């Protein structure tokens, strides 16, 4: 079972593939060597034969057939001698060590390959390379050389090839199994931890081998992903804790007020007062609930199908005008500077609400503290185009938000210390942020020196109503 698992691993399959490639390579190399050697040997043999023939025909010219026969007798008696045969012009053998010859071979001239047998040979015929030379008197001289040497070499090479293939297969398979086992062990360890994580232990991480190889890099990335998920989960838990807290607080007040009225109220006026309070509390609960729903909807990307093209400038002017009397009542000068033709594709309603939330915040928290300069009492709402984006900003000259708090205030229900005494749910900025993201945009908190400037950057609607183009334009910003 475990072995079957090993055989199925990718590492093993890759090893086998390499094995086959190496085997074919080795075969080709040895084959080429063998083929080349055969040629070299044959060349050498034919040269030797030529030299012999030249020498023998010289001896024949010097001492006639008798001398030649003597020399051949002498030569054939030496061990490992070549093939020699002298015949009469009619083909009768006179001297030599070749017994059986293929018929008609002597009428050939030049170099031939033939089968022959030696006297006393029992092991069948051998192959030899030979040359027939016709001497002056019509005698024929055959000089040959055994080819068994080449065959033996080929056999050695074949042997070497088979042996090396055998070892290649054995070592390759074992090596493949070893590599596969190593990789499998690591993958098994990763899988075990992954299962633990799936089972709910998000604190676990995948094991690193420390080799820095591709598996390690993969593991590192997965661990990074897990870190990100943990952060998100923690955020989610914070959110639900906050929701529980911020909804339960008014619920507790509501319940406490009703209980107290039931216990202590005596006159109809007492009851009326208690009921009015209860109504106020339930109203606040509904507001928080609605705001949470709006944020959740926007974050989930709901309402995209209802989006239209609208002018962000006129929305900014509308909201500014809506809040202007309130600002005046609070002694704050509200100025609006909005260009024209700032076309956005999105939800006019949600963008309007986002700007309204920012304006509301600016009027609530951006008010000058104590006696301040004239500039302190101004809030500016502006909308302008900035290279493919539409920037809507609301700026005040109040105390601002410290750099370290800026990320925090975007979370749901976060209210800074000096805001706790004033009414509010801590959801306004969260909703504005969610709306910005719904429109593929972003929200930034900046230092207005002094004060706070909140900027919503939204991608401007493409001039042509082409969804593909709009998507392509917004992507880089999302990645950033």
Binding-residue total with other proteins (CB under 8 A): 33
Stretch binding other proteins (CB under 8 A), from 58-66, 97-105, 114-122, 347-355: 347-355
Token pair 């319940």: residue: 255
Determine, following the binding rule CB under 8 A, whether residue 224 of this chain makes contact with other proteins.
no
**Which 32-51 residues touch other proteins, going by CB under 8 A?**
none
Collect all residues with Cβ–Cβ distance below 8 Å to 374 and sequence separation of at least 6.
none
Our CB check for other proteins shows the closer of 144 and 426 to be 426
Determine, following the binding rule CB under 8 A, whether residue 326 of this chain makes contact with other proteins.
yes
Stretch binding other proteins (CB under 8 A), from 60-68, 69-77, 357-365, 441-449: 357-365
Determine, following the binding rule CB under 8 A, whether residue 323 of this chain makes contact with other proteins.
yes
Cβ atoms 141, 86 nearer than 8 A: yes
Angle between helices 348-365 and 312-329 (to 10 degrees): 30
Our CB check for other proteins shows the closer of 225 and 322 to be 322
3-state secondary structure of 115: strand
Our CB check for other proteins shows the closer of 147 and 454 to be 454
Query: How many Cα atoms within 13 Å fall on the side-chain side of residue 12?
Result: 15
Stretch binding other proteins (CB under 8 A), from 58-66, 172-180, 263-271, 322-330: 322-330
What minimum distance in Å lies between the beta carbon of 356 and other proteins?
6
Determine, following the binding rule CB under 8 A, whether residue 430 of this chain makes contact with other proteins.
no
Q: How many CB atoms lie within 10 A of CB 382?
A: 19
Token pair 């008798």: residue: 66
Choose, by CB under 8 A, the member of 104, 214, 269, 305 that binds other proteins: 305
Structure tokens at 213: 């190889």
- Please, which contacts does 231-235 make with residues 24 or more away whose CB atoms are closer than 8 Å? 233/202, 235/411
To the nearest 10°, report the CA torsion of 62, 65, 66, 72: 90
Q: How far apart are CA 140 and CA 87, in angstroms?
A: 5
Q: What angle do CA 398, 358, 345 make, to 5 degrees?
A: 145
Dihedrals phi, psi of 371, to nearest 5 degrees: -80, 120
Our CB check for other proteins shows the closer of 88 and 287 to be 287
What minimum distance in Å lies between the beta carbon of 336 and other proteins?
13
Stretch binding other proteins (CB under 8 A), from 144-152, 206-214, 354-362, 400-408: 354-362
Our CB check for other proteins shows the closer of 45 and 350 to be 350
Give me the residues that bind other proteins (CB under 8 A), please: 282-283, 286-287, 290, 293-294, 297, 302-303, 305-306, 318, 321-323, 325-326, 329, 347, 349-350, 352-353, 356-357, 360, 363-364, 423-425, 428
């Amino acid at each position: 079972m475990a072995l079957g698992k090993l055989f199925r691993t990718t590492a093993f399959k890759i090893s086998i593939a390499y094995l086959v490639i190496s085997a074919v390579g080795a075969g080709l190399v040895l084959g080429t060597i063998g083929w080349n050697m055969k040629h070299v040997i044959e060349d050498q043999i034919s040269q030797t034969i030529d030299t012999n023939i030249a020498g023998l025909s010289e001896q024949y010219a010097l001492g006639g057939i008798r001398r030649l026969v003597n020399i051949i007798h002498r030569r054939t008696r030496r061990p490992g001698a070549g093939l020699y045969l002298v015949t009469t012009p009619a083909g009768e053998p006179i001297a030599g060590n070749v017994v059986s010859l293929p018929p008609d071979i002597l009428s050939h001239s030049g170099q031939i390959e033939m089968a022959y047998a030696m006297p006393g040979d029992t092991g069948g015929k051998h192959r030899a390379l030979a040359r027939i030379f016709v001497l002056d008197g019509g005698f024929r001289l055959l000089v040959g050389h055994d080819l068994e040497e080449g065959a033996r070499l080929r056999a050695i090479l074949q042997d070497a090839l088979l042996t090396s293939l055998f070892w290649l297969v054995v070592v390759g398979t074992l090596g493949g199994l070893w590599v596969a086992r190593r990789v499998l062990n690591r993958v098994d360890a990763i899988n075990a931890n992954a299962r633990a994580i799936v089972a709910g232990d998000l604190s676990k991480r995948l094991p690193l081998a420390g080799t820095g190889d591709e598996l390690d890099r993969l593991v590192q990335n997965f661990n990074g992903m897990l870190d990100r998920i943990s952060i998100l989960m923690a955020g989610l838990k914070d959110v639900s804790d906050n929701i529980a807290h911020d909804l339960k607080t008014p619920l507790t007040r509501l319940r406490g007020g009703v209980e107290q009225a039931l216990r202590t109220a005596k006159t109809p006026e007492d009851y009326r007062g208690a009921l009015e309070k209860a109504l106020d509390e339930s109203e606040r609960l509904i507001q928080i609930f609605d705001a949470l729903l709006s944020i959740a909807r926007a974050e989930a990307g709901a309402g995209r199908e209802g989006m239209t093209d609208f002018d962000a400038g006129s929305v900014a002017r509308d909201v500014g005008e809506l809040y202007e009397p309130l600002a005046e009542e609070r002694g704050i000068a509200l100025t609006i500077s909005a260009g024209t033709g700032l076309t956005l594709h999105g939800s006019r309603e949600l963008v309007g609400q986002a700007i309204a939330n920012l304006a509301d915040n600016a009027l609530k928290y951006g008010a000058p503290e104590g006696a301040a300069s004239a500039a302190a009492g101004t809030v500016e709402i502006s909308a302008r185009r900035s290279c493919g984006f539409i920037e809507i900003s609301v700026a005040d000259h109040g105390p601002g938000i410290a750099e370290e708090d800026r990320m925090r205030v975007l979370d749901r229900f976060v209210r800074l210390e000096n805001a706790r005494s004033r009414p509010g749910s801590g959801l306004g900025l969260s909703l504005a942020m969610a709306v910005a993201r719904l429109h593929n945009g972003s929200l930034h908190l900046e230092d207005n020196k002094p004060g706070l400037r909140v900027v919503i950057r939204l991608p401007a609607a493409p001039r042509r109503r082409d969804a593909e183009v709009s998507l392509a334009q917004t992507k880089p910003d999302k990645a950033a």
